[in-house]
Structure 1
Amino acid sequence: MAAAAPAVLPLRPVAGPRGLPLLGNLPAFGRDPLTFLTRLRDEYGDGVTWSLGPLRSLFVSHPEHIGELLGAVEQTFDILDVGWAFRRVAGQSVILSKGAEWRRKRSLVQPTVRPRQVRLYASTMVDCAQAAADRWRDGQRIDVLREMALLTQRVVVRTLFGNDIGDQSSALGDAMIVAQHEVGAELRSISLFLPGWVRTRARRRVDAAVTTIDAEVHRLISERRAAGAAAEDRDDLLSRLLAARDEDGRPLSAQEVRDEAVTLWAAGHETTSTALTWTWYLLAGAPQVRARLDDELRQALGGRPPGIDDYERLPWTQQIVKESLRLYPPVWLHSVVARKGATLGGLPVAAGTKVWCSQWTAHRDPRWFADSGAFRPERWDPGASEAVPAHAWFPFGGGQRTCLGARFAQVEAALLLATLAQRFHVDVDPGPVRPKAALLIQPDGPLRATLRAVTSPLG
């Protein structure tokens, strides 16, 4: 007899908080999205209907429904278009493409971040971290997010563009910061629903930033193409994108290369710098976790810099990063739109309904994580008694559209952390730090810290 199909957890949505005419729940969401979504989960349950302005929406919180949703994208759900600013920055990159065009672009972009390529980039990651540590001094005061952003920007410049970007890296980085800030601000405001021809002050800032981004990226593309075959022998991501061919032998166009390069920049720079910032914040308040990290680095590395072959020999380092991504996932919201015939938890979902799930609320759900607000990397120990359901932790999304750079990001975060932690403690100033949800979850103000040199080599 054929095996019975697994039972589907029924989804029975309830009506969420009453909204305002036209605006719906947008004001409450815009003021504090993390608190609003947590309230939906705690006060209303695993399926809640609500409205983001005119958008008819459904918020789901149970890992089974989240997993079903992520797995149904490209089948009965599509990625939601999240506004003019995001489209202006990302163009028609793989994260916004759909259907056959998405499959084509994914097949061309995916090889650039496969494990073999990540191996080639690992030494660059460590070199950049060592250079940063060489500039640090015992007792120096730093803004942690700024230091991590400078570090990951160096990594992405070298792995994405090689070393030929020169002084333009600063201008390009500043433009990306402006663009990402405005994308996050638009998500929380009424401008999300304004037509594209409306040019607010914020949209003019986006236009100016994108002009800078486009000019530099297209210059690099033109120079690489002019170099011909010699450029294709390089190992940086831009060269790999230019060398890629689909099954019909077609390359990516210059605009397509631009869109994918900008997306890889954003994914490989600010997300990782944000994750590392929160990691240092959490480590500063957990001396026992830090002591175990020191022990692992001492035993695994003996004072030498880490390499890609050490990655699997640093399980505690990986668990620290994983637990940091649980508590402070840089990407905190996932949104899709239902096609005709979509279902979720056995329930028909009307075409056009926007369905949302949140890494923030799922990762901090006390049903799946005991003492859910506590920093406990040991919860990820092999054989730990605390069983975590699939899709209760999904910082990189899931299903067919899992973030292509997930492996790159996890290796980068672990190797940068290991390299810097061998030489310094980052003593974050005491006091509460509030997370602010824009495009990413970042501290709501500067995260100040004092550097303290490790008194004896971790060897």
Structure 2
Amino acid sequence: MATHAVPFRPVSGPRGLPLLGNLPAFGKDPLAFLARLRDDFGDAVTWSLGPRRALFISHPQHIAEMLAEVERSFDILEIGWSLRQIVGDSVVRSRGADWRRKRSLVQPVVRPRQVRGYAATMVDCARACADRWQDGEHVDVQREMTSVTQRIVLRTLFGNELGDRSEAIGDAVAVLEREAGAELRGIGLFLPSWVRTPSRRRLLTALRTVDAEIHRLVRARRAAPDATAEPRDDLLGRLLAARDEDGRPLSEKEVRDEALTLWVAGHETTATALGWAWYLLSASPGARDRLTDELERVLAGRPPGIDDYDRLPWTRQIVKEALRLYPPAWTVPAVAREGATLAGHPLAAGTTVWCSQWAAHRDPRWFPEPEAFRPERWDADAPDVVPDHAWFPFGAGQRTCLGARFALVEAVLLLATLGQRFHVEMDPGEVAPRAGLLLKPAAPLRATLRALG
């Protein structure tokens, strides 16, 4: 069936304040603000974030075009001093030839064949978590998921769990994520780099802890007697062994930037998605029972393996629906270059174009009953066809998240391993999302564990 071009007619959005524009409304509740732009104004809305000209787009065709043109007509927006300190000049922030070089070096590290090799580690860590859980125990689900995904990323990234340093370094990474997320919501986004707010000082202190450990690991690996032999089968070993087309390796700083980006993105994103998945399942007994039936039928009591990923369609659909309702990455902003267009409409250079997973994933045009948790909407024979780019939790185009396959496999295997042994019953009450660096619960996800069998 042919796809018809969608008209692109930007309209003016809500009036803002002098100098601040719409920043106060955006900072107070960015999710509600972006949904309001979609619902009250349409598919293309102009607004202002402080002094920046901005355009919000919400139709999948326009989103697809914009994301496909990143690196040609658009640049990824530089968001915040804090985030720059964390990711440095890694592949998520670099541009042009530098981005192409780094992507070619980092992409093989997380290709499906490599992810396949990490699946056993994912299941081992999930089983260790389940072995520690007790029937009737009351837990903070988000904290539990963060703990298990951190163990996984440390083992797959560094080949160990950092011993007695794991907890302190994990706490430091949590500070990085918290402070960077807080900056996105307020005036700190526009402060010059030399200003040292309490938030920035906390971030720098945490960053020194994490950087010291990464540099120690890199130097120890390079100094090892077998450093020139076959690279160790972990992410760090593959980063150190990577060579570009001119035979150049990543520098120590480049390895640090990519390793920390993989660490932060590879553990908290999946932990957040799993926390929301348990929250949604607890309120949906039918979906939870169908999960139990699938795990019993397919696994018959054994631990899952990588080959079970394709044999567990309902488990995958639960993850996909959780990512629809609560996408950890909730917005993608890009900056128009000179000569940029959308749907043939010229854009002024420097215009920040925003699209939002949160707004697109909850658009009733593409998802009937958009607030409802319905994994069956992803059945192969579901009657409602979801347009391309109406669901894009990992972005799209050339800048699609390199770790998407890792994250999906990890989420499915953890949900299967834990779900075959426990029900997670959330405490009564609704928990709202809070938009920071990731879309995380605004309050702890507290639950009681119920052992199965």
Q: State TM-score, norm by structure 1.
A: 0.97
Amino acid at match of 2:142: L
Give the structure 2 partner of residue 95 of structure 1. Answer: 92
Q: 1:48 aligns with which of 45, 49, 58?
A: 45
The residue type equivalent to 2:23 in the other structure is: L
Match of 2:432 in 1: 434
Q: Which amino acid aligns with 1:30?
A: G
Number of aligned residues: 451
Q: Deviations over 1:82-112 (max 9, x none)?
A: 0100101110000000000000000000000
User: Cα deviation per residue 1:253-277 (whole Å; 9 max; x = unaligned)?
Assistant: 0000000000101111000000000
Tell me how far apart the structure 1 counterparts of residues 61 and 440 of structure 2 sit (CA, whole Å).
28
String of CA shifts for 1:118-159, please: whole Å, max 9, x gaps: 011000000000000000000000001000000100000100
Q: Does 1:182 align with 2:179?
A: yes
**1:276 corresponds to:** 274
CA contact (8 A) 1:232 1:239 kept: no
Report what 1:154 is aligned to: 151
Q: Which residue does the alignment assign to 1:252?
A: 250
C-alpha contact 1:70 1:398 (8 A) present in aligned 2: yes
Q: Does 1:351 align with 2:349?
A: yes
Letter in 2 for 1:320: I
CA contact (8 A) 1:225 1:231 kept: no
Corresponding position: 1:165 with 2:162: yes
Matched, 1:392 2:390: yes
Matched residue SS, 2:217: helix
Counterpart for residue 330 of structure 2: 332
Instruction: State the alpha-carbon separation in 2 of the partners of residues 28 and 172 from structure 1.
Output: 35
CA offsets 1:287-317 (integer angstroms, 9 cap, x no match): 1101111111111111000000111000110
Aligned to 1:129: 126
Q: What CA deviation, in whole Å up to 9, does each residue of 1:183-238 have, x standing for no partner?
A: 11111111111110111111111111111111000000000100143675311100
Q: Which residue pairs with 1:291 in the alignment?
A: 289
Conserved? CA contact 1:232–1:240, under 8 Å? no
* CA shift digits 1:305-359 (9 cap, x unpaired): 0000111000110000000000000110101000001001211011100000000
Separation in 2 of the partners of 1:71 and 1:65? 10
CA–CA distance in structure 2, aligned partners of residues 40 and 163 of structure 1: 46
Distance 2:355 2:165 in 1: 38
Asked if 1 retains the 8 angstrom alpha-carbon contact of 2:243 and 2:250, the reply is yes
1:15 equivalent among 12, 17, 21: 12
1:98 is matched by which residue type in structure 2? R
1:36 and 2:23 are equivalent in the alignment: no
Equivalent residue number for residue 265 of structure 2: 267
Task: Give the Cα separation in 1 of the matches to 2:245 and 2:121.
Answer: 31
Please name the residue that 1:140 is paired with.
137
Question: What amino acid maps onto 1:204 in structure 2?
Answer: R
Distance in 1 (alpha carbons) for counterparts of 2:161 and 2:185? 37
CA distance in 2, matches of 1:398, 1:232: 34
Equivalents in 2 of 1:125, 1:150: separation in Å? Answer: 12
Match of 1:167, SS? helix
Q: Which residue of 1 aligns with 2:206?
A: 209
Q: CA deviation at 1:10?
A: 2.6
Confirm or deny that 1:226 pairs with 2:223. Answer: yes
Alignment partner, residue 71 of structure 2: 74
Would the aligned equivalents of 1:224 and 1:231 in 2 still touch at CA under 8 Å? no
Matched, 1:119 2:116: yes
- Whether 1:306 aligns to 2:308 is no
Distance 1:85 1:412 in 2: 28
Mapped partners of 2:132, 2:252: distance in 1 = 37
2:304–2:417 CA contact under 8 A, matched in 1: yes
**Per-residue deviation, 1:439:** 0.8
Give the conservation status (yes or no) of the 8 Å contact 1:50–1:58: yes
CA distance, structure 2, for counterparts of residue 193 and residue 316 of structure 1: 44
Letter aligned with residue 29 of structure 2: D
Which letter does structure 1 place at the counterpart of 2:365?
A: R
CA distance in 1, matches of 2:401, 2:247: 25
Residue pair 2:221, 2:227 contacting (<8 A) in 1 also: no
Secondary structure of 2:90's match? coil
CA distance in 1, matches of 2:229, 2:375: 43
Q: Which runs of 5+ in 2 are unaligned?
A: none
2:234 aligned partner: 236
- Tell me how far apart the structure 1 counterparts of residues 150 and 421 of structure 2 sit (CA, whole Å): 21
Alpha-carbon separation, structure 2, partners of 1:413 and 1:341 = 41
**Native 8 Å contact 2:112 2:405 kept in 1:** yes
Structure 1 window deviating more from structure 2 (367-376 vs 158-167): it is 158-167
Aligned amino acid, residue 443 of structure 2: G
In structure 2, C-alpha distance between the alignment counterparts of 1:191 and 1:451, rounded to whole Å? 40
SS of the residue corresponding to residue 440 of structure 2 reads strand
Which amino acid in 2 is paired with 1:254? Answer: E
Once residues 447 and 371 of structure 1 are traced to their aligned partners in structure 2, the CA distance between those partners, rounded to angstroms, is 24
Q: Which amino acid aligns with 1:146?
A: R
Distance 1:229 1:157 in 2: 20
Establish whether residue 108 from structure 1 lines up as the match of residue 123 from structure 2.
no
Separation in structure 1 between the aligned mates of residue 336 and residue 231 of structure 2, nearest angstrom: 43
C-alpha separation between the residues in 1 aligned to 2:109 and 2:116? 11
Q: Is the 8 A contact 1:85 1:186 kept in 2?
A: yes
Match of 1:150, as an amino acid? Answer: S
Distance in 2 between the 1:448 and 1:377 partners? 23
Correspondence 1:200 to 2:197: yes
Aligned partner of 2:6: which letter? L
Aligned identity (percent) is 70
Equivalent position amino acid for 2:164 in 1: D
